A and B are shown apart, each in its own frame.
Chain A
């Protein structure tokens, strides 16, 4: 069912006629964070009632995009004159570039990439502009963990607007076994029209998306990641497509990209991904690819699968001896963890 629903949301199959299937499709899209995308694909081909339900997704995506444009302008203001040109990443970049992958997409956080030598200065600039370290990471242990082992500063939250900002200085942590060359990302970054912020090159957008989905420990949104990768890949012209494989090899991202293309070929029948996968020499492990398919199918009863993926992703991020203390501390913290309160609207 999940493969079928994913294909519907990717626009490869028509919206089902059966009401129960439609209801399940809506819930699938909601749980998998692609409700706005489904609204776009369904358009006015569905009943008025279904359009009205889907409108909720359109409203939320519109709010996020609006927020993002505003935050982008705030970032420009904060960094002007500093000589630092942050690179917008992920959803923020798709929205700023107006890519197909942005349409209907929710963007809850901003992610930016700055060169490692500028991190300290970027931190000071952001603190001066009203960004503070978020409560969830304000504890000393978490602060140290982020700074020492991760590829980002602890998350910032703006003190008045409450938006969340992640500042990265590399795409995977320095302790990661997957050895990714970060320099080419900075070198190929392109100016964003009408702004002094930058964005990754079209090929690098795909590579980063693949790294994020398949090597970055984020397995929470497999359906969204897959649909996003498919749309990004469709945006490449044939020449850019040819250059992609060379780029992947140069950066050293063969593994996550192979899984990305493998899954795109398997689930969305993407011929483009199939060709790229062959160029890359196929997926490193069929078992791992099957795990991803399993995950996509929401096979929740196979808890071990999820656990293995979680461990696997962390193994890619840092050597085991560094990993264990973190997991132990995390496990203990979870026992006392409280759910985040629902934030009520604010007025200034």
Chain B
């Protein structure tokens, strides 16, 4: 059985003084058991498919996409309708399915899932009686048993790990084709990636490097701005309940206002929720106040790390689902000089946004 101690904050390095900028966590290199995200599948299914395509076609890695997995129930847990014991048992079931499929390296698409899984492992480590209870509950409700994963990584960790290989194979760079200058990119790392358990994030909680190193490696310029570490504003129940949805909008707006003076060409995210919110709230702000945060188009394009990697590797923007964004990414595609079927893209955008002219 894997020692839980290896995977929790109480690993030996916790007591050492850590220069977080030098801190690198262990990331498994192959044989991934892929855990999908409810939000990603709902809003940007092409991003998850792009991730798997890159694993298969570009990095030649083995993965398994098990249809029996369900939601991790993390959104239910953080919006308080999933009791702790239920969460523990649900996570135990996912581990059991992974064991059954013969995998032990869990790769997670969603930052909420990543956070709850590590929280659960940590609780099991701190309070072993809760692990026993989870075993008992899982056995009782499903007849299943389980072992813990050997390694847990977020899908963005994998892209981070292979960022150089991706750069080597890439067709495009994060460089403005017209000016030859690096594109200015702001990163937004999901709160639950490293704020809860800093040892599980690359670079720790304050300045996680998972996205910024991708940006640098792929030729872009990372822009630091004052509200860089501020939450996107999801707030779980705050967003889910219409009455308090202003909470979500307010915090996204705080971020846009703070980054605007730096004129970013792109917002890069690693959390499915953040990506959707930063994409959609720009639309709402524009509709309600007329304010646009970009100098061209209808806002600052917001991409996920899988989408960006795929784009630079030459994948088709339609195939990876960029037309599903509300904030148009076309200005970015033009800056990058991406060659693609503009008619097809424009037609989809036209249908979706009812815009008279896009090209």
Q: Do they bind each other? A: no
The chain B residues found within 8 Å of chain A, CB to CB, are none
Question: Taking beta carbons and an 8 Å cutoff, which residues of A are in contact with B?
Answer: none
